[in-house]
């Protein structure tokens, strides 16, 4: 009886596991994923971003974690957190300056995260330029062009706001930076700031657009992306 129950539970667990298409989801931790990064046409941003990407300190802090990594990677003047003095670094906590506290207090971001428009202003309040685009106003070709143009610019970084459901992965709304683009497979590398859940993953531009098209309940609009650059 016990053996039968264990087998039944194992079968149920397998059935509950989402089926991932290999051509759509390729993790960087696989040999093929590594090779794609090394061969990718636009992979320079990976190195600066990977140096500073850290896991979100709260489940809803994908936005602040991403902004901290991007700000550090772009090399703008950094604050000096008390615990790191005299060294300087953007951290998820130091991003909540006076302007960002007025935009959306720490406790509210902890509760519900950031919408795409809020993310844009949050970035600008750190001293960077930001330009956000909603997926329902952007074609797949326009998304691809925006990714390429941003990754070709040493003074810019690309942030994606998407739903994990479309990949598919466990969870829903998420924010992370894009580290590379591979023209041969028309795929992008998402550097996931939820390191406790997933490693960086390669997905097609078309799949990313579909993930951005899913509605954000916080804004009742599609998700999208932000092009970040040095002012």
Residue 147, classed as helix, strand or coil, is: helix
φ, ψ for residue 103 (rounded to 5)? Answer: -65, -55
Residues 6+ apart with CB under 8 A from 65: 53, 54, 55, 56, 57, 92, 193
Average pLDDT over every residue of 56-84: 95
CATH topology of domain 21-230: Cathepsin B; Chain A (3.90.70)
Average pLDDT over every residue of 42-52: 97
Q: Are 190 and 160 in contact (CB under 8 A)?
A: yes
Q: Looking up tokens 């991403």, which residue turns up?
A: 66
Q: Are 192 and 211 in contact (CB under 8 A)?
A: no
Q: Are 59 and 170 in contact (CB under 8 A)?
A: no
Residue 2 predicted with pLDDT over 60: no
Residue 41 predicted with pLDDT over 70: yes
Does the predicted model carry a pTM greater than 0.85? yes
Q: Which ranges of the chain would DSSP assign to H, the alpha helix?
A: 2-16, 31-39, 44-52, 62-74, 98-103, 106-112, 116-124, 140-152, 205-213
């Amino acid at each position: 009886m016990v053996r039968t129950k264990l087998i039944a539970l194992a079968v149920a667990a397998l059935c509950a596991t989402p089926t991932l298409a290999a051509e759509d989801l390729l993790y960087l931790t696989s040999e093929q994923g590594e090779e794609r990064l090394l061969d990718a046409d636009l992979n320079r941003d990976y190195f600066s971003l990977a140096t500073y990407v850290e896991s979100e300190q709260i489940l809803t802090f994908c936005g602040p974690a991403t902004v901290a990594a991007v700000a550090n990677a772009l090399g703008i003047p950094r604050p000096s957190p008390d615990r790191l003095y005299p060294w300087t670094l953007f951290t998820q906590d130091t991003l909540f300056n006076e302007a960002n506290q007025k935009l959306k207090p720490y406790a509210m971001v902890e509760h519900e995260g950031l919408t795409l428009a809020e993310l844009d202003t949050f970035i600008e309040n750190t001293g960077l330029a930001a330009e956000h685009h909603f997926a329902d106003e952007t074609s797949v070709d326009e998304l691809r062009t925006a990714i390429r143009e941003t990754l070709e610019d040493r003074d810019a970084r690309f942030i994606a706001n998407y739903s994990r459901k479309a990949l598919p992965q466990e969870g829903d709304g998420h924010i992370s930076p894009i580290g590379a683009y591979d023209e041969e497979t028309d795929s992008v590398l998402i550097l996931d700031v939820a390191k406790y859940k997933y490693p960086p993953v390669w997905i097609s531009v078309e799949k990313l657009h579909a993930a951005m098209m899913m509605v954000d309940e916080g804004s009742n609009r599609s998700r999208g992306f932000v092009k970040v650059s040095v002012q």
